[in-house]
Amino acid sequence: MALAHAGYDARGVRGLPAGEEYGALFEGSRVAAGELLATRAPSLSPEQMFALLGDRPERLGELWDHWGSLRPQLLADAPD
């Protein structure tokens, strides 16, 4: 399916792994959550941030209580 989304016909691609070899394709891979947050967080609304964090926002209650005043300070340019 991934090949089809990329515009390839899987029937014409040589060297596809056999069934048990598919698991090895993901060895060493990781979710780039830090990179996602670094690039997207400045433009996320509070609702989008809650959706992204799942059940974790509950543990950050005090931070969310002050988020409206903290966010502009965090996004401001660093002083010279």
pLDDT, one tens digit per residue, over 18-53 is 777 777 878 888 888 888 877 887 788 878 877 877
CA separation for the pair 34, 74 (Å, rounded): 16
| pLDDT confidence of residue 59 | 77
pLDDT confidence bin for 60, thresholds 50/70/90: confident
Contact 3, 10 (CB under 8 A): yes
**pTM of this structure:** 0.38
CA separation for the pair 10, 3 (Å, rounded): 6
Per-residue pLDDT at 72 exceeds 80: yes
pLDDT confidence bin for 12, thresholds 50/70/90: confident
